[in-house]
Amino acid sequence: MGVDDSTTAVEDGDQRECVERNRFPHAGELELPDELAGWEKMYPEFFLFELSDDRRDYEQDQFWFWDKKDSTEPIMPWDMTISAQAWQIAMAQNTSRVFAIPPSMSVDIRVVAGYVYFSGIQVTDDELLQERAEIFEERSEYYYENYDALYNGTWLPAVKEIGNEIQSLAVPEKLPDYVSEDVITEAKGQSTQTLQVIQNYNRLTELALEGWQRHFEFLYLAYLAYMQFTETSRDLFPDISDDAIGKMVSAVEADVFRPDQELDKLARKAVELGGDVPAILKSDLKPDEKIEQLRASETGQAFMDLFEEAKDPWFYMTYGDGFHSYKGSWIDDLAAPFNHLQTKVERLESGDSLGRDFDKLQAERDAIVDEYRQYLNPDDREQFDHAYETCMSIYEYAENHQFWIENWLHTIVFRKMREFGELVVTHGLLEEPDDIFLFDRFEVAQLLEETCETWALGEGAFVTERWKDRAANRREIFEAAREWDPSPALGEPPETVSDPLMQMLWGITTEKINDWLDVESDNDDESRLDGFGSSSGQVEGRARVVTDAKDISELAEDEILVAPLTDPAWAPVFPRAKGAITDDGGITSHAAIVCREYGLPAVTGTGHATSVIETGDLVRLDGQSGEVEILEKATQS
């Protein structure tokens, strides 16, 4: 989408002259491809733009940006249950009504063809700011002082309990021809199983929402602690780079890196066990075939025992960013872990490193922190130490939660949903179990109810084709939405971006917005890109553009990975990469953190690297300055 032709006059305070400034289109001005017609019916009403005149006026006063940090792809209707829908309550209330972060009231959410747009709502009223400051100070300090106990004692057990309860929810493969005997003998009533289907589905959605409330519990506090450390560092060491600050908070022992570490352990074990294990792992067999062959020998069986042990929870890694049911999870599709094992065994056998050397990273980090501390006088050192210790104790949360919610819990939720999908398919209302994700949370409740109604009507009852037709139609719309390139933002951009969370997490800065406006309107210089210097190092190499997590194995040795985002599930291939360039993500985004943790030079948040750079282009990136240069195009156009 291009920038709207309309411009608005912005008065320049000093020169008193009118400067033409572009704005982004309003939602109603977007011209969507015809294939997307009908997308509005796929998402809950709340998320639609311009529902009514008064709401449109409010929306047009707000600045909306596409939340590419969480996902660069459209989100399926049911998947919104554990993204936009969960966020709208859990994320918004966390800042508005739980911790009362003074200037950041909340985030309002809209959806266009499955793409999620955010708009920050800020607090400007002094009295309200003061009121919120008092609440914030008391509540957040309690969390900062008790983080360990709250996280390990309450949070993690609670999240595990949510996941375990979801796993235990019974979903019948098929509703019985006749209800079981005990309905009669124990006078249970008439349709416990259909009631259970409805109850368990409702419970699933309740638990999913509860999990997402947990997701945000410490999240902003963790980022604020990080911000506080960042700002303290900037005060004490003027001109310090983001990258240097990033180094001081790197080498965090977080659960999100465990899947890769478990694969490292398995690869080492495979080499140690020997026999035919390494050869099988290096073969081009399919995962099932590898498992079968491994189970055939004693050493192979020994390996498989360890493999099975690691699977739960560490292979509950979603492909992609975690928000898409259709991308699946390692546990359901073992291609990724076996591909990674293949690479890792090969690397071990040729004497290469397996990547993230935690001890080395930690030693480097500690040396840097010690050196900065040494330059401070005792008072300042105390201030620095306090900020650093708080940051380091809670910052792991920024990574840990991502494993437990976006990967582990989502895998469980999607798996359970598929069981419901299979039930619906069995009863003839849908063609494919995964079609259930084409309906939103409330529609699925209707669909399951109709499944029960159809069942209740008895053998040979009429089965509607409505849901199948609707699913087919929605599948087409959704595929068209994936092809569509939405506007990075909507509406009038603020002259300056002041919201600290907005800058840190989404990398939305004044420069970024201007850059979007420039690029949207003028595509002259495409040989340079600017982003965040997120992980230091200057490298030059051939680009490999990877837009789908499934294609990550195409990345060859010494190539520079160019992707919408990088996420921890990709970490196993990082040792092959020379550097990384992403479209999105600020300095504290997962994309930036994971690159720092693996010592991979990276520029994040370039905005449009995946569309400007092509596989095979010779590119240079500077992970300190955030500059990317295309030195040579693979194809002369």
The residues of the shown chain that bind other proteins, judged by CB under 8 A, are 101-103, 129, 133, 136-138, 140-141, 144, 224-225, 227-228, 231-232, 235-241, 243-244, 247, 367-368, 371-372, 375-377, 379-380, 382-383, 386-387, 390, 500, 536, 624
Answer yes or no: are the C-beta atoms of 356 and 599 closer than 8 Å: yes
Which residues lie across from 7 on neighbouring strands? 22
Nearer to other proteins, 394 or 593 (CB): 394
Minimum distance from residue 585 beta carbon to other proteins (Å): 21
Provide, rounded to whole angstroms, the least separation between the CB of residue 238 and other proteins: 5
Instruction: Round to whole Å and give the CA distance between 40 and 29.
Output: 15
Q: Which is nearer to other proteins, 367 or 472 (CB)?
A: 367
Radius of gyration of the chain from its Cα atoms, rounded to whole angstroms: 26
Nearest-approach distance from CB 600 to other proteins, in angstroms? 17
Give SS3 for 599.
coil
User: Between 227 and 285, whose beta carbon lies closer to other proteins?
Assistant: 227
Nearer to other proteins, 235 or 312 (CB): 235
Structure tokens at 339: 């591909």
Q: Which is nearer to other proteins, 295 or 386 (CB)?
A: 386
| Least distance CB 187 / other proteins (angstroms) | 57
Shortest distance in whole angstroms from residue 229 CB to other proteins: 9
> Between residues 96 and 193, which has the closer beta carbon with respect to other proteins?
96
In angstroms, rounded to a whole number, what is the distance separating the alpha carbons of residues 68 and 345? Answer: 34
- One-letter amino acid identity for 628? V
- Report the nearest approach of other proteins to the CB of residue 94 (Å): 15
Question: Shortest Cβ distance from residue 552 to other proteins (Å)?
Answer: 30
Pick 220 or 574: Cβ nearer other proteins: 220
Read off the tokens for 344: 């890792």
Query: Minimum distance from CB of 326 to other proteins (Å)?
Result: 39
CB nearer to other proteins: pick between 168 and 377: 377
Cβ neighbors of 411 (< 8 A, separation 6 or more) are 316, 317, 318, 329, 331, 332
Cβ proximity to other proteins: between 352 and 530 the closer is: 530
- Strands (DSSP E) contained in 511-596 are 528-530, 532-535, 538-545, 560-563, 579-582
Compare residues 46 and 375 and give the one whose CB is closer to other proteins: 375
Residue 626: which region, alpha, beta or left (left: phi > 0; alpha: psi -120 to 50)?
A: left
Residue whose C-alpha is closest to residue 529's, from 624, 617, 612, 633: 612
Helix (H, G, I), strand (E, B) or coil at 241: coil
Alpha-carbon torsion (537, 581, 393, 251), positive or negative: negative
Query: Distance between CA 101 and CA 486 in Å, rounded?
Result: 31
Q: Give min distance, CB of 414 to other proteins, in A.
A: 36
To other proteins, the closest distance from the beta carbon of 81 in angstroms equals: 32
223 or 257: CB nearest other proteins: 223
Q: Cα angle vertex 284, ends 281, 285, to 5°?
A: 80
Query: How deeply is 563 buried, as exposed, middle or buried, from its count of CB atoms within 10 A (0-12, 13-18, 19+)?
Result: buried
The half-sphere exposure of 223 on its side-chain side, counting CA atoms within 13 A, is 21
Sort 12 into a burial class: Cβ within 10 Å, 0-12 / 13-18 / 19+.
exposed
Q: Are strands 104-112 and 538-545 parallel, antiparallel or unpaired?
A: unpaired
In angstroms, rounded to a whole number, what is the distance separating the alpha carbons of residues 423 and 421?
Answer: 5
Pick between residue 312 and residue 382 the one whose CB is nearest to other proteins. Answer: 382
| Shortest spacing between CB 107 and other proteins, in angstroms | 16
Strand partners, 542: 618
Distance CA 113, CA 91 (A): 22
Report how far residue 14's alpha carbon sits from residue 409's, in angstroms, rounded to the nearest whole number. Answer: 54
Output the smallest distance, CB 627 to other proteins, in A. 14
* Of 582, 569, 570, 499, nearest in space to 535 by CA: 582
Please report how close the Cβ of residue 218 comes to other proteins at its closest, in angstroms: 13
Which CB sits closer to other proteins, 237 or 326?
237
User: Cα separation of 139 and 391, whole Å?
Assistant: 17
* Direct distance between the N- and C-terminal alpha carbons of the chain, in angstroms, rounded to an integer: 22
In which element (H, E) is residue 259 found?
helix 258-273
